[in-house]
Structure 1
Amino acid sequence: MPDPKIRKFLTTVEEIYHEGGPAADAPLLRGSVIAVIENPYAGGYHEEISGFMKDLEPLGLEMANRLVKALGGDAKTIQGYGKGAIVGQAGELEHGALWHVPGGYAMREILGDAKAIVPSTKKVGAPGTRLDVPVTHINASYVRSHFDAMEVGVPDGPRANEIALVLVMTTGSRIHARVGGLKADEIKGEDGLR
């Protein structure tokens, strides 16, 4: 397959000081980067599609680097992550699944071989479709304070023959996390879960 044909990038950063409780001294940063690319499989069924995952690896690394930069430039400050894809209507859900490996491994590499699986979601939709991307702690999926999500979308995409590929990162827990469970400072780092 040829290199992905990129139409546009969209980067968003939220600065969250409070959710109705006391304001934090420093905001939680929650950011996303989206690449809208041409879907090389749009318009028909193709039995073999997995080779495109390798072609997406450089794009995954570029997007992960862009997002770390947008969130302040220091990968050590990133505590949460997630990924997703919105497939245009001439594609199929499986085309969004092509993003699992290149998107997830890119973030794990940029963040110092993070241990936890990168949560993910995908859907088929029209331009303007919104997607809730799940977020968990980068080193332990059971850290309840970091269970979060970021809503993302592209006003004019994905078009029918496109895919919007998404990465999300956060710099901490939900701003008023207080429902117990494993704490970030209790992570053992053995299996990506605890």
Structure 2
Amino acid sequence: MQERNRNCIEAGIEIRKLSLYREEIVTEAGAAPARPAFRASVAAVVTNPWVGTGAATDLSDAVGELAPRLAKLLTDKLIETLGGADRIEAFGKAAIVGTAGEIEHGGALIHTPYFGNLVREFLQGESIICFADTRAEAGEELIVPMWHKEHAATRSHYQTVSARVADAPRADEIVVIAAASTGPRPHPRIGDRATDPAVTAQNLEAVLS
């Protein structure tokens, strides 16, 4: 981990802190889940390299240098925490921008191929990665959405995990987050898109009237 942190710093990312959160639902509605799952999020608190640069600043050069290293750092930690990329079934990503930055600064670090494509590859996924982003004061919680890493329409894996760093982001920082789960929600039973009936306003006219 120290070597990966050093590589990020050499690339121009000053990482102040890494924060790891992991949870397991032991019981839900009085019963243990048929498929117990672990959920985790890893947050990197980094200095925002674009603070004060103005709305017309081209972000692309820095993105190509910074985002891939963050993707590797965060997914390595998720894989280590959850027992391997092959155990991970759902994923998500997020960013919290400090108050001196633009919301676009967070997007620059998570919404381009330099981050998203690599997170998908490292976690052995195929789906588009769902996301959340915001600008906030230090300590604000962000709910990170996740869905199945290969089949985004798999409703059982629509779930969230909380991410919060008590003293971040400071005004000139960004919190970059990757999240994953080893299984579905507890007791999923609301069907799936593959088995849904055809639902339209017309054939639900009796319900809607």
The reply to whether TM is greater than 0.5 is yes
Query: C-alpha separation between the residues in 2 aligned to 1:182 and 1:66?
Result: 32
Q: Is 1:13–1:29's contact at 8 Å kept on the other side of the alignment?
A: yes
Output the CA distance in 2 between the equivalents of 1:44 and 1:4: 16
Provide the alpha-carbon RMSD of the alignment: 1.7
Q: What secondary structure does 2:73 align onto?
A: helix
Partner of residue 40, structure 1: 49
> Would the alpha carbon gap of residues 145 and 25 (structure 1) be closer, same or farther in structure 2, given more than 3 Å must change?
closer
Identity of aligned residues (%): 35
Is 1:94 aligned to residue 104 of structure 2? Answer: yes
The equivalent residue for 1:53 is 63
Q: CA deviation at 1:2?
A: 4.5
Tell me which residue corresponds to 1:188. Answer: none
1:62 paired to 2:73: yes
Task: Between 60-69 and 44-53, report the one with greater CA deviation.
Answer: 44-53
Give the Å deviation of 1:23: 0.8
Tell me by how many angstroms 1:182 deviates: 4.5
CA distance in 1 between counterparts of 2:143 and 2:42 reads 13
Question: What SS is found at the alignment partner of 1:43?
Answer: coil
2:31 to 16, 22, 36: 22
What is the TM-score of this pair, normalised by structure 1?
A: 0.87
Q: Distance in 1 between matches of 2:115 and 2:187?
A: 29
CA contact (8 A) 2:35 2:186 kept: no
- Segment of structure 1 superposing worse, 122-131 or 95-104: 95-104
Give 3-state SS (helix, strand or coil) of 2:115's partner.
helix
Q: Which has the larger radius of gyration?
A: 2
In structure 1, stretches of 5+ residues that fail to align are 184-194
Bigger Cα displacement from structure 2, 40-49 vs 87-96: 40-49
Q: 1:20 to 1:103 in 2, by over 3 A?
A: farther
TM-score of the pair, normalised by structure 2: 0.81
Aligned residues: 181
Offset of 1:116 from its aligned partner? 0.4
In 1: Cα distance, 2:77 partner to 2:186 partner:
24
Q: Which runs of 5+ in 2 are unaligned?
A: 1-9, 195-209
